[in-house]
Amino acid sequence: MAYVVLKGERKIGDVVARAYGDLRAADAKRAEAALVRANPQLGNLREVRPGAVIVVPAVPGLRPAASADRADQPAAEAVAELRDALEDYRKRLGTRIGDEKAAIAALGELLKSKEVKTVVRDFPDAAAHVERVGAALKPRAAENDARAAFAKTLTKAKADLDALAKKLG
């Protein structure tokens, strides 16, 4: 049995081309119908996530493309897709952690500023609000530190997936 791993194709014709190669229009229609029968989720391709394993059924007179013939391909491709998605997530998380750290620092500086002290002096009711904001900074920083620690574990997970992908070929 042959398989392909969805790489984000948004048209069934693109999946057919990956699974069977270049086909004449009539053969492409037959291959498309066979793919959808074997993989009903392809009926709404926009809802199928990249990395999904697609069964490439036998179609009389057509042969799956060479890339779809290898039985171990889905595992290796799925690991590679997972590794890439994990790395993308780690990078985005790292950016957000840095942004949050900067925002916490800026807010802490603002709370210590001459302007805020003047507002508190001139409007005593504001003191309670400023205190609550200051008190909220500590748990916010702790949550951000926890995210940073988690991001480090993602680096280790990526290395583990790299090793697995290498093993799978």
pTM of this prediction? 0.55
CATH number of the domain at 59, please.
Answer: 3.10.350
Separation CA 5–CA 139 (nearest Å): 42
Of 69, 96, 119, the position where a domain reaches its end is 69
The one-digit pLDDT tens for each residue of the chain (169 residues) are 688 888 888 899 999 998 888 899 999 999 999 999 999 999 888 888 888 888 899 899 888 876 654 544 567 777 887 888 899 999 999 999 999 999 999 999 999 999 999 999 999 899 999 999 999 999 999 999 999 999 999 989 988 888 887 877 6
Strand bridging mode 53-56 / 2-5: antiparallel
Question: Are residue 89 and residue 64 in the same domain, yes or no?
Answer: no
Give how far Cα 54 sits from Cα of 38, 57, 58, 139, Å: 8, 9, 13, 45
Whole domain around residue 48: which residue ranges?
A: 2-69
